[in-house]
Amino acid sequence: METNDNKKRSATELVKEIKRRTKRKFSAEEKIKIVLEGLRGEESIAAVCRKHDIHANNYFKWSKDFIEAGKRRLSGDILREANRDEVLELKKSVDSLKRIVGELYMLDKVIQISSTRRTKLTTSRRSKLTTRAGGS
């Protein structure tokens, strides 16, 4: 009897693991499309959910999020999440700016080193000239 319980538990755990690994991810565009389809009212919410193979709870959560985002936007809240293309463009800009900052840093170090050397050379030349002038 105990082995049956262990088999049932392991089978249940296996099913949960499979469900977790195969959980579908919907993009923002897909969620909006599904929510708008339900808001049009051409089909019942249950029919829309069956059509897209989602649970009604997911639909209502997405619908609530959609409405809240619309309220925020209309009330003047201009903050929003960036879409994928915007994020990629911003990452490219950041990489380019990092490269420029690195080049400027290296250029600054070269200038500092050459300035230090020039100062040392000038100081040593002055001391030589002073020594020669004083010794004559």
Q: Which one is predicted more confidently, 3 or 24? A: 24
Q: What is the dihedral of CA 95, 100, 103, 109, to 10 degrees?
A: -120
Structure tokens at 117: 């050397």
Structure tokens at 85: 């293309």
Q: What does the pLDDT average to over 111-134?
A: 75
Would you state the pLDDT for residue 135? 53
Would you state the pLDDT for residue 2? 47
Q: What pTM value is reported for the model?
A: 0.45
**pLDDT single digits (tens) 77-122:** 666 677 888 888 999 999 999 999 999 999 999 998 888 877 777 7
CA distance 129 to 123: 10
Nearest residue to 34 (alpha-carbon basis) of 11, 20, 50: 50
**pLDDT single digits (tens) 24-78:** 888 999 999 999 999 999 999 999 999 999 999 999 999 999 999 888 888 876 6
